Structure 1
Amino acid sequence: MALSPPTLPVQARAWDTRERILTAAVTCLADEGYSATTTSRIQEIAGVSRGSILHQFPSREDLLIAAVQHLAAQRDGGLDLDEETLDVGGDIDRAIDVMWSMFHGALFRASLELWVASAHDPALAAALGPRERELGRRNRARIQRLFGPRHTSHPRFNDLISLMHNSMRGVALTYSFDPRDIATDPHLDVWRRAAHHMLEA
């Protein structure tokens, strides 16, 4: 009796193709912007056929959102850090530093391109919203881990994180036209002092 041919190689090739497409989409979004990130350009960067893209992603919006979510999952929900770095023992200064690092790199740049584009694309906004909320929940859990149970139980913790998150995101936007060393940003001292004041008062 003849055995059925193994399916793993085919599945592996399909998975490899999907990974290449998603990686190419993120790269293009982060480096070239939303308007330049066409399916043709993604096809060129990934080195795949147009049929391969259309088979897995029926629309450009589906592909770009999947690409950002794929990168977020690879980076453990937005933090491109290992387990040891996440376990900072509730050190406020280190937690602020790690939180600040979330707003830099390919994931943030690619997400920013989608946020801006969604303001003029209702279909993109509708598809992006639920995924962004899920990513936000995962990031929130990791921020709580950074600060530790003693600080997260403080009655002002939620206010602090909302303030830090929005402030850091706003400052990070200026890096898109004025790149510099994130470790020397003068806002870091302000954020650290604010965190100490709110959590240790």
Structure 2
Amino acid sequence: MADLYPQSLPCRFEGFPPRIQVVCGRAFSERPGTPYSFGSRVILAQTPRSGQTSCVLAVGEPIPTTEIIYADTGDDDEYNLKISHYGLGRFYLADADDAWFRLVVVKGIRLEAAGLSRAFETVDIWETLIPATAAVPAPSVTPDAVWLEDATDATETDRVRATWFTGDIPAGGRIVRGRLQLAGDVAVGF
């Protein structure tokens, strides 16, 4: 099933350097056909399709594919080692009787080499204040900011919920910039 906009949103990628250095793990020594072995240090460069979006955001249509792609040759199709970063956010109802939508954020990295293909993902789940009885609204502009709302339930006054990603901030909203590490303890760096 396709992830449709605005129920799903693509991740936005920022701050990826043009080149990275990776150190190969044990899987490379276990696979014949890869030119690298355990401990090999390899310089990867972003490819021409890196950061390019496959189409535009349109309500009811599948979200566009955007990945940050690195390869040892700097080419999307001819390589010995390629690493791709991908991600998306998806609003969903965990149970039919949920009062609010939840937002799951999936961030992943895919490694491809001769005879080797592996993906590693992290999944973070957020509660929102978007009522389950409403349709998830499309943002008025391309998502580029976050606004936060405190939970109104008196039993949940110690919780803050992210409500939406949008270019228009309501009165009292805050633009969040920096890095946010989700899962376990939350750490924010600005």
When you count helix as a share of all residues, which structure comes out higher? 1
Q: Which has the higher contact order (CA 8 A, sep 6+)?
A: 1
TM-score scaled by structure 2? 0.25
When you count strand as a share of all residues, which structure comes out higher? 2
TM-score scaled by structure 1? 0.24
